[in-house]
Structure 1
Amino acid sequence: MSGPITVVGTGTGAPPGEDVLAGADLVVGGRRHLDAVRLPEGAERIVLGPLAPALDAIEEYVAEERRVVVLASGDPGFFGIVRALAERFGPRRLEVLPGVSSVAAAFARLGLTWDDAVVVSAHGRDPRTAVNVCRAHPKVAVLTGPGAGPAELGAALARTAPGRVLVVASALGDPVRERVERVGPAEAAVRDWGAAVSVVLCLEEARLPGRVRTLAGPPRRPAGWALDEGDFAHRDSMITKFEVRALALARLGPRVGDLVWDVGSGSGSVAVECARLGAAVSAVEKAGDGAARIRANAAAHGVDVHVVHGTAPEALDGLDDPDAVFVGGGGRELADIVGVCARRARRSVVVAMAALDRVPAARAALTDAGFACDGVLLQSSRLAPLPGDVTRLAATNPVFLLWGVRPRISDVEGVAQ
């Protein structure tokens, strides 16, 4: 049974007809939505600001079985007010009449499909997730908000993904004020965009998907990881072996919206695998030929990796704070590098070492930064052929893998209690 709350998405076209509002005792919505309609005689109206007072007022009308109409932008079930209303009153009390979402309208203006787009909301949220998604994926729609609009997105992407194209859609559906503009990140960063921006599309046109899709949303996660060393270009076997990479990826936990650093990246095998799993990645490598090799490996696997040609820890100064860090090189500076990474990582740091002597200093750097530290010595033997159609075991070099995990606030509070 539909309840007394009707939620109307105004879409990107004309306001709802009077028949939708007929019989309403209370109409709730943004000022521009309310000003665009004629209220039924005797109906009260509430201009949406803070959501809690409006929900309290709606509850009073619902308790008396009086009819409420809520006006919202676009499709109110898509990052919209339907969630809050359903949590408060239950979905069976709602009659939802969706309009065309700003995301659908923006892609329609460009003549592009959006079943293969990643959609992320930065409205009232930390914009770093939206930035990381834009870096990692070729087709992204960002729902903007104060402090997380085209200028902020452009400033972040100009440093790490300057080749992206931003499509800024403003006042969609307004016959006079609608604007759809294509700009680069650097230009977006210095423009005053005002408050009418509806959505920003971030495109890497060279990587736009073109295949027929079965599932909507971002490409499916790869069927496997810890790829064979032969899947990467590398120099003199200087590459993180797949056994080590498998456990490192498990401890890093790369996912959509994350930023991962791969420090001392070498061939970029860890960086590429993290990018294949949906994370944004910055790979730091001091050798010029190594930096070129990382770019080539990223291109071969169809992912984007931000490559920094420089020496850690100094090269880390200009990077955004990561969620997770893999340190695969560092030499005598390893402890200093791990310390810098641990101070800035939001979740975890993983360190791979061949030298026994460097394990204590790396472990101390993690624990001194407040991380819970653990580790393992990985020794593996692979099947290898012998003459006569028989097989032997060929040992690989042992590697120490340490990882540190930043305790969650709840964990710390639990210990304190």
Structure 2
Amino acid sequence: MITVVGTGTGAPVDPEVLSGAELVVGGRRHLDAVRLPRPAERIVLGPLAPALDAIEEYVGKERKVVVLASGDPGFFGIVRALAERFGSALLDVRPGVSSVATAFARLGLPWDDAVVVSAHGRELRTAVNVCRAHPKVAVLTGPGAGPAELAAAVPADRVLVVASALGDPVRERVERITPAEAAARDWGTAVSVVLCLDEARATGAVRTVAGGRERPAGWALDEAAFTHRDSMITKFEVRALALARLGPRPGDLVWDVGAGSGSVAVECARLGAAVVAVEKTPDGVERIRANAAAHGVDVHVVHGAAPTVLSGLDEPDAVFVGGGGAELPAVVTACARRARRTVVVALAALDRVPAARAALTGAGLSCDGVLLQSSRLAPLPGDVTRLAAANPVFLLWGVRPQARIEGVVD
């Protein structure tokens, strides 16, 4: 049996748990905080593989093993690795209070509406994009992905709460700080968790299902759900397939280039992605912001013309390109070269399809597409109905080869 004990947030380890242990594994601070049985071997956790090999040797001889971990070891913790190696039936897990729960408790905030993301040993960009998209996020940090690195990339209007050495009666600190202030400091190794808050929206409605915003009941919203100019908006039939090909999800960054009303941007944000909308007209910029506010989502709006403004944006997972114009091939090329997963292009003009397709394939994406033609029900006098044809739209999508995708998706 392997006993896994959560510690480090104030709860002492029961001496009885350690009694008779022949191998005790844990971080240095956890091992230094307990009195080990005299004959027990101790392993300070560094690289996980050697520790697991040592545990396997002791377990094979039916010798008692205790693993000390931070907080709740089943929450982004060592329980996953132990269960995969030895099976859940061999584990006796005794959880402590997680650092996330402790940090929110220190602030007196509920956290059933928070998103929790780990940047420990993972790409920081995923945590950054979650912080951009959601008003209440807890980030588990790690080397190279601490408060300073996170602060350098999150929106400037957020408040960061850096919780260090939680549970330590002498060293514990919980600091509210701006991203600019956090980015300028060296935080050392004692950070337990960082909370990223949009304080205007930090206390949401009563929840039934835990996690960030409620998932939308539907998407491809009717055009009437958005403010738009002279019906210049991506129609819901086109938007439905575009969203399916974009695949927006929490942790993603999506560009909506030539955003117009921002309908695609807003829908991607409703599905949990961080979104940048690029629009060259001043009235379009205001329209996008109004639509985002009306739907309660964060969309970062960049006022400028593509492809020029794209070079200053963070690398996207997916891109939607709307509109047309002489710059379209250059815009699609710029997007396709930087997209990590996919680019979707909506076109009304047949003449522009070959150039857009060549731009996608020229950047190394595999390309497919479809001509969408739909007819909507429309009333006629006499209580009868006709079909009203919508303008046909070409939808092209380019997908990064699988080898690239596997390298970037967590």
**What range is the shorter-chain TM-score in?**
over 0.9
* Structure 2 residue 368 is matched with structure 1 residue 374: yes
* Structure 2 residue 124 is matched with structure 1 residue 127: yes
Q: Distance in 2 between matches of 1:175 and 1:11?
A: 11
State the AA in 1 paired with 2:252: D
The answer (yes or no) to whether the contact 1:338–1:365 under 8 Å persists in 2 is yes
Q: Distance in 2 between matches of 1:173 and 1:16?
A: 13
* Structure 2 residue 226 is matched with structure 1 residue 205: no
State the AA in 1 paired with 2:7: T
The answer (yes or no) to whether the contact 1:330–1:337 under 8 Å persists in 2 is no
* Superimposed CA distance per residue, residues 88-142 of structure 1 (whole angstroms, 9 cap, x where no aligned partner): 1111111111111100000000001111111000001110110011111111100
The answer (yes or no) to whether the contact 2:254–2:275 under 8 Å persists in 1 is yes
The match for 1:297 among 283, 287, 291 is: 291
* Structure 2 residue 256 is matched with structure 1 residue 262: yes
1:411: how far off?
Answer: 9.9
State the AA in 2 paired with 1:371: L
Aligned to 1:58: 55
The answer (yes or no) to whether the contact 2:109–2:203 under 8 Å persists in 1 is no
Superposition CA RMSD, Å: 1.3
1:218: how far off?
Answer: 2.2
User: Superposition pairs for residues 161-240 of structure 1, below 5 Å?
Assistant: 161-240=155-234
1:209: how far off?
Answer: 4.4
Q: Distance in 1 between matches of 2:107 and 2:58?
A: 43
Q: Percent identity?
A: 83
Identify the range of structure 1 (175-184 vs 128-137) with the bigger mean alpha-carbon deviation: 175-184
* Structure 2 residue 347 is matched with structure 1 residue 350: no
* Superimposed CA distance per residue, residues 30-65 of structure 1 (whole angstroms, 9 cap, x where no aligned partner): 111111111112111111111111111111111111
* Structure 2 residue 334 is matched with structure 1 residue 337: no
State the AA in 2 paired with 1:64: K
1:410: how far off?
Answer: 8.4
The match for 1:73 among 70, 73, 78 is: 70
Aligned to 2:9: 12
State the AA in 1 paired with 2:135: P
- Partner SS for 1:317: helix
The answer (yes or no) to whether the contact 2:136–2:195 under 8 Å persists in 1 is yes
Q: Distance in 2 between matches of 1:344 and 1:209?
A: 36
State the AA in 2 paired with 1:278: G
- Partner SS for 1:332: coil
Query: Structure 2 vs 1, CA of residues 156 and 350 (structure 1 numbering), >3 Å: closer, same or farther?
Result: same
The answer (yes or no) to whether the contact 2:336–2:359 under 8 Å persists in 1 is yes
The answer (yes or no) to whether the contact 1:11–1:75 under 8 Å persists in 2 is no
The answer (yes or no) to whether the contact 2:369–2:396 under 8 Å persists in 1 is yes
* Superimposed CA distance per residue, residues 310-345 of structure 1 (whole angstroms, 9 cap, x where no aligned partner): 110011111111010000024110000000000000
State the AA in 1 paired with 2:74: G
Q: Distance in 2 between matches of 1:394 and 1:376?
A: 20
Aligned to 1:101: 98
State the AA in 1 paired with 2:139: V
Q: Distance in 1 between matches of 2:278 and 2:324?
A: 11
Identify the range of structure 1 (225-234 vs 38-47) with the bigger mean alpha-carbon deviation: 38-47
The answer (yes or no) to whether the contact 1:155–1:189 under 8 Å persists in 2 is yes
What is the TM-score when the length of structure 1 is the normalising length? Answer: 0.95
Unaligned runs of 5+ in 1: 413-417
Aligned to 1:364: 358
- Partner SS for 2:20: coil
State the AA in 2 paired with 1:73: S
Q: Distance in 1 between matches of 2:192 and 2:347?
A: 48
State the AA in 2 paired with 1:231: A
Q: Distance in 1 between matches of 2:51 and 2:82?
A: 10
State the AA in 2 paired with 1:78: F
Identify the range of structure 1 (373-382 vs 332-341) with the bigger mean alpha-carbon deviation: 373-382
The answer (yes or no) to whether the contact 2:341–2:405 under 8 Å persists in 1 is no
* Superimposed CA distance per residue, residues 334-389 of structure 1 (whole angstroms, 9 cap, x where no aligned partner): 00000000000001000011111111100000011111111111111111111111
* Structure 2 residue 91 is matched with structure 1 residue 91: no
